[in-house]
Amino acid sequence: MNKRITVAAGDGIGPEITQSVLRVLEAAGCGLEYDHIEVGEKVYLSGNTSGIPSAAWDVLRRNPILLKGPITTPQGGGYKSLNVTIRKTLGLFANVRPCRSFHPFVRTQHPNMDVVVVRENEEDLYAGIEHRQTTDVYQCLKIITIPGTEKIIRYAFDYARSNGRKKVTCLVKDNIMKVTDGLFADIFRRIGKEYPELDQETQIIDIGTARVATRPERYDVIVTLNLYGDIISDVTAELTGSVGMAGSANIGDRISMFEAIHGSAPDIAGKGIANPSAMLNAACMMLAHMGMPEKAGLIQNAWLCTLEDGIHPADIHQPGVSKVKAGTIVFADAVIERLGRRPSSLQPVQMKGGAMPTYTYQRPVVDRVPCGVDLFVNEATHDADELAHQLQRASGGLLQLKLITNRGVKVWPGGFPETFCTDHWRCRFAGTDVDIKAAKAQYLPIDKATIPALMQRMHDAGVDVVKTENLYLFDGERGFSLGQGE
Amino acid sequence: MNKRITVAAGDGIGPEITQSVLRVLEAAGCGLEYDHIEVGEKVYLSGNTSGIPSAAWDVLRRNPILLKGPITTPQGGGYKSLNVTIRKTLGLFANVRPCRSFHPFVRTQHPNMDVVVVRENEEDLYAGIEHRQTTDVYQCLKIITIPGTEKIIRYAFDYARSNGRKKVTCLVKDNIMKVTDGLFADIFRRIGKEYPELDQETQIIDIGTARVATRPERYDVIVTLNLYGDIISDVTAELTGSVGMAGSANIGDRISMFEAIHGSAPDIAGKGIANPSAMLNAACMMLAHMGMPEKAGLIQNAWLCTLEDGIHPADIHQPGVSKVKAGTIVFADAVIERLGRRPSSLQPVQMKGGAMPTYTYQRPVVDRVPCGVDLFVNEATHDADELAHQLQRASGGLLQLKLITNRGVKVWPGGFPETFCTDHWRCRFAGTDVDIKAAKAQYLPIDKATIPALMQRMHDAGVDVVKTENLYLFDGERGFSLGQGE
């Protein structure tokens, strides 16, 4: 791999910790070359709302790696998150967060935890597609894709393999979200077969989070969707007792970004007392990612020896446990002195190595046929039967009304008087040749031209359609969930 | 309130714990009358897939309260969850889960926690509306409504008030989901003003969950959306160390259900050794809900005294801590003997009382005007510019193409070569009088008839539209999120 990387020192304590980290990398003989770019506060204040100048993009795009210090986003509106911009623009699909405890040097109730959370970074509810549709109802789309899921799951398994991990746990809610989370769990099981040496399990996110919170020691690598990963990675970081020591990686197909989790701490900037550990750990993740796992292990073990020897920066200094309160440079030099040593009480780091494989998506070939449409109708009635009659009249036999639900609860045919109804009705239409009274739900192919035609008829009849979702069969299988009681 | 309640003893240990709970309620002078119904295993096995006979529905509907024992759902497919059926049919909108530790009688790392999770129970991703739309892309709808949100938030505040609680914490992800979670947080702040005696705070769900997991003592009442509540209530239950002691309520407008969290434990059924505590705690929640908080407090304090006196059922029996290993009836009688006493080491229960108010939704009057439409297009291209030209041609000037995103990332105009594209394109159309090159996104009212007309033109041009989301202004304000970079 190309050994030329981009370095953005960032704001506040960024420059001093970056300098000390590069010093350690050099002493360990990593042989890296650097292109420095300026991002962050100065760039924001110069009038650039995204905090990164155009010229920096060219550098970023040229090198496969960005090592980034913490950023200060100025107060006041209009400034965009630099991380979100970089992540979205460069397609950084995986967020990787190792959460390990360093007890007794950092106090925690879970001295034996060593968990890595691999979080999908681009999809799920975080795609940011939200609509208010009626007076009562607001909606956010949860988007899960085959390539996005294959990519993150393959990455988690490859990460586990090349970092000498033993087990991968997949967290989903597939008992409720059978289509989306079901896809994620299916792909986990399918790809998992290619990694027979790794233990594999799937857990439901609610009880899974409860177990992570009380027994993190039983987890190794966790792979999960964006929202769940957001929650779980904060839980595991907090459990270690040392949010300030952790690095994080954002992995893309061609470019990846490595950084400390903590902020720019302007109050102690320039004083030479900042703890460079988090950025050093991020740099070690970077080295492993670049195919230099032995260098990553060399540095991490020297760093663990430094902790064991009681040489501690101010933020983790504890009377009785610490021996030296070390400044940034003193601490970095202490790590350098210990290169080649292995820790005695803390578990040494061992990596298997190799650069991470790149993933290429092969779109499956499936037969996709429309078989109906869900029309979502705005209507302030409480009478589902009357609404059903109105829709049946309006459709004029083009398609057949099969079901109406309100917030997912069936209200026609055969609703219950207790059901509270909003002004937002999901009205499911199927082909006219379907037996809608059959005990098991049936769907048959329809002519796609009937969908825009149905829309026009609804409009002409004064039905207020606010959104549509077409229904499809994929290789003859239903691609959508049934309504309750359908 | 009507003192006639429905009782369903359930399966396994259900009948024996129900019997002992009713004995305590009687001894405490609650003056309840009972209609017993049969639900669960026998009903399932008689061929009723929902586990509840039609005649039982009439009883259920007549009484405002159901006290329910645990249920055994038979193995094999086709049996529907009784809880989901009851919850959906009767509109039980709030799930209430008190999680308190009883240290040292039940061991936990958090001896001082006493949290109540109030979880919205009907909306969110759990409405079960999922669609696969293209070869690559699967979707689940997150639905949040004003009445559903007002109801749960008002319930949480009323619960806090009538149970002598001090603080209500709202957990959301409104920094990302500004429309849906933003609504939830806004309504929390608005309704909170009517409860000035209660402390109030909003936290982001990721860091909030991490804090709940490590410092549950700092929380009192938590109110949150369905999915977050599912996760959080499992975390808090697990932290108490005693999932087997907790009761749970499912609250509806006219009917509410109270039950133990644990299962039917068929292995110990009929032996007279089951712990009735969880169902007793559920019954106390029921009494408070019915406007008998003094009776609820009386029983709960007697129960705490029983724990303090070392009289413990087998499942929580600890050598050195416990004095008597009590069977179900012996334990219930020990509680009865202690009616009127207050615990000395454990915190006594004190409730303020009053039956819970009923909520009535007043739909706001808003001016709702269409201003565009998002068409979601299936297309296996990688060329967003070519797709844009195709859409522009097809629309024939009816509406104006403003933006294309793929998984929420802008790909037209001005996309980035690094963006990975699926076969699922969100194509945003606005009115022809909008300046789409303006620095700030603009939206102006459109004629609603243009939307079905646009659909027809797309169909005629061979554009494969898989779903639509209309765009609306509400009282002149955008009701939808902007695309990235829009």
Interval A157-168: pLDDT, tens? 999 998 889 999
Sort B205 into a burial class: Cβ within 10 Å, 0-12 / 13-18 / 19+.
Answer: buried
CA distance B19 to B37: 14
- To the nearest whole Å, the CA of B371 is away from the closest chain A CA by 12
The three-state secondary structure class of B154 is helix
Q: What angle do CA B412, B416, B422 make, to 5 degrees?
A: 70
Is 80 exceeded by the pLDDT of residue A399? yes
Give residue-wise pLDDT tens across range A423-437. Answer: 999 999 999 999 988
How far, rounded to the nearest angstrom, does the alpha carbon of residue B165 sit from its chain's CA centroid?
Answer: 20
* Most B CBs within 10 Å, among A82, A133, A138, to test the B interface: A138
Is A407 in Cβ contact with B127 (below 8 Å)?
yes
Number of H helices, E strands in chain A: 13, 20
Query: What is the pTM (predicted TM-score) of this model?
Result: 0.95
- To the nearest whole Å, the CA of A66 is away from the closest chain B CA by 15
Pairwise pLDDT comparison (A36 vs B83), residue with the higher score: A36
Identity (one letter) of the amino acid at A295? K
CA distance B143 to A466: 14
Given a contact cutoff of 8 angstroms between Cβ atoms, the answer to whether B344 and B309 are in contact is: no
Question: Residue B408 is nearest to which of A127, A237, A448, comparing CB atoms?
Answer: A127
Is B131 in Cβ contact with A471 (below 8 Å)?
yes
Who contacts B102 (Cβ-Cβ below 8 Å, separation ≥6)?
Answer: B240, B242, B245, B304, B307, B346
Out of A42-51, A129-138, B330-339, pick the least confident. A42-51
Is 80 exceeded by the pLDDT of residue A195? yes
Q: Spell out the alpha helix ranges (H) of B290-327.
A: 293-308
Which residues of A fall within a CB distance of 8 Å from B467?
467-470
Helix axes B277-289, B293-308, angle to 10 degrees: 160
Given a contact cutoff of 8 angstroms between Cβ atoms, the answer to whether B73 and B82 are in contact is: yes
Given a contact cutoff of 8 angstroms between Cβ atoms, the answer to whether A430 and A403 are in contact is: no
The three-state secondary structure class of A197 is coil
DSSP structure class, residue A73: P
Question: Residue B213 is nearest to which of A235, A380, A451, comparing CB atoms?
Answer: A235
* A376 bridge partner residues: A426, A467
Query: How does strand B400-406 pair with strand A33-36?
Result: unpaired
Query: How does strand B424-430 pair with strand B368-378?
Result: antiparallel
How far, rounded to the nearest angstrom, does the alpha carbon of residue A47 sit from its chain's CA centroid?
Answer: 30
Is the bond preceding residue B196 a cis peptide, omega within 30 degrees? no
Q: Which residue has the tokens 């359930």?
A: B10
What is the model's pLDDT at position A1? 63
* B5 bridge partner residues: B34
Is A206 in Cβ contact with B230 (below 8 Å)?
yes
Given a contact cutoff of 8 angstroms between Cβ atoms, the answer to whether A65 and A5 are in contact is: yes
Which residues of B fall within a CB distance of 8 Å from A448?
459
Is B138 in Cβ contact with A210 (below 8 Å)?
no
* Tokens encoding B28: 């405490």
A–B CB contacts, 8 A cutoff, strictly below: 324
Q: What angle do CA B91, B93, B95 make, to 5 degrees?
A: 125
Q: Which of B353, B221, B358, B357 is nearest to B288 (CA)?
A: B353
What is the model's pLDDT at position B1? 63
Who contacts A19 (Cβ-Cβ below 8 Å, separation ≥6)?
Answer: A9
Locate the DSSP E strands across A152-302. 167-172, 199-204, 221-224, 247-252, 256-260
Which residue of chain B comes nearest to A254, CA vs CA?
B418
Which residues of B fall within a CB distance of 8 Å from A422?
145, 147-148
Is B368 in Cβ contact with A233 (below 8 Å)?
no
The three-state secondary structure class of A389 is helix
The whole-number average pLDDT for the span A347-375 is: 89
Is A122 in Cβ contact with B407 (below 8 Å)?
yes
CA distance A98 to A111: 15
* Tokens encoding B247: 């009761």
What is the model's pLDDT at position B73? 85
- To the nearest whole Å, the CA of B239 is away from the closest chain A CA by 7
What is the model's pLDDT at position B340? 96
Is B424 in Cβ contact with A145 (below 8 Å)?
yes
For B204, list phi and psi in degrees, rounded to 5.
-75, 140
Which residues of A fall within a CB distance of 8 Å from B173?
125, 227, 230
- To the nearest whole Å, the CA of A116 is away from the closest chain B CA by 16
Question: Residue B468 is nearest to which of A90, A173, A468, comparing CB atoms?
Answer: A468
Which residues of B fall within a CB distance of 8 Å from A108?
none
Is A368 in Cβ contact with B134 (below 8 Å)?
yes
Is A209 in Cβ contact with B136 (below 8 Å)?
no
Locate the DSSP E strands across B146-226. 167-172, 199-204, 221-224
Cα distances (Å, whole numbers) of residue A459 to A165, A455, B375, B444: 58, 6, 17, 21
* Tokens encoding B245: 């002691």
pLDDT classification of A243: cutoffs 50, 70, 90: confident
The whole-number average pLDDT for the span A79-92 is: 86
Please count the CA atoms within 13 angstroms of the CA of A482 that sit on its side-chain side: 11
Which residues of B fall within a CB distance of 8 Å from A426?
129
The three-state secondary structure class of A360 is coil
What is the model's pLDDT at position B485? 74
Which residues of B fall within a CB distance of 8 Å from A256?
none
The whole-number average pLDDT for the span A155-178 is: 94
CA distance B317 to B89: 39
Task: State the DSSP string of A321-382.
Answer: T-SEE--HHHHHHHHHHTTT---SSSPPP-----PPPPP--------EEEEEEEEEEE---S
**Beta-sheet strand order (sheet of B130-132):** A130-132, A137-145, B137-145, B130-132
Which residues of B fall within a CB distance of 8 Å from A409?
88-89, 91, 122
Q: Which residue has the tokens 């080491």?
A: B345
* Most A CBs within 10 Å, among B407, B457, B459, B460, to test the A interface: B407
Q: Which residues of B432-442 are buried (b: 16+ CB within 10 A; e: fewer)?
A: eebebeeeebb
* A312 bridge partner residues: A325
Query: How does strand B221-224 pair with strand B167-172?
Result: parallel
Is A481 in Cβ contact with B234 (below 8 Å)?
no
Is B467 in Cβ contact with A91 (below 8 Å)?
no
Question: Residue B180 is nearest to which of A138, A214, A227, comparing CB atoms?
Answer: A138
Question: Residue B130 is nearest to which of A368, A468, A481, comparing CB atoms?
Answer: A481
* Tokens encoding A289: 């990612």
pLDDT below 50 — which residues of chain B? none
Please name the helix (run of DSSP H) or strand (run of DSSP E) that holds residue B284, with its range, or none: helix B277-289
Average pLDDT, chain A: 94
Given a contact cutoff of 8 angstroms between Cβ atoms, the answer to whether A45 and A75 are in contact is: no
CA dihedral B348, B355, B52, A405 (to 10 degrees): -120
Which residues of B fall within a CB distance of 8 Å from A82?
none
What is the model's pLDDT at position A479? 96
The three-state secondary structure class of B464 is coil
Please name the helix (run of DSSP H) or strand (run of DSSP E) that holds residue B378, with its range, or none: strand B368-378
DSSP structure class, residue A64: S
The whole-number average pLDDT for the span A304-310 is: 96
Is B141 in Cβ contact with A142 (below 8 Å)?
yes
The whole-number average pLDDT for the span A164-174 is: 96
* B209 bridge partner residues: none
Q: Which residues of A249-270 are buried (b: 16+ CB within 10 A; e: fewer)?
A: bbbbbebbbbbbbbbbbeebbe
Q: Which of B141, B407, B228, B177 is nearest to A142 (CA)?
A: B141
What is the model's pLDDT at position B81? 82
Q: What is the ipTM of this complex?
A: 0.94
* Most B CBs within 10 Å, among A119, A131, A207, A474, to test the B interface: A131
CA distance A78 to B30: 60
DSSP structure class, residue B57: H
Is 90 exceeded by the pLDDT of residue A74? no
Who contacts A187 (Cβ-Cβ below 8 Å, separation ≥6)?
Answer: A146, A149, A150, A153
* A200 bridge partner residues: A168
Is A474 in Cβ contact with B93 (below 8 Å)?
no
Question: Residue B231 is nearest to which of A130, A205, A470, comparing CB atoms?
Answer: A205
What is the model's pLDDT at position A362? 92
The three-state secondary structure class of A459 is helix
* A410 bridge partner residues: A405
CA distance A343 to A352: 18
Which residue of chain A comes nearest to B477, CA vs CA?
A132
Locate the DSSP E strands across A205-341. 221-224, 247-252, 256-260, 311-312, 324-325
Q: Which of B424, B420, B406 is nearest to B466 (CA)?
A: B424
Which residues of B fall within a CB distance of 8 Å from A88?
408-409, 484
Please name the helix (run of DSSP H) or strand (run of DSSP E) that holds residue B8, with its range, or none: strand B4-8
* Tokens encoding B26: 């009687």
Query: How does strand B33-36 pair with strand B4-8?
Result: parallel
The three-state secondary structure class of A164 is coil
CA distance B93 to B159: 14
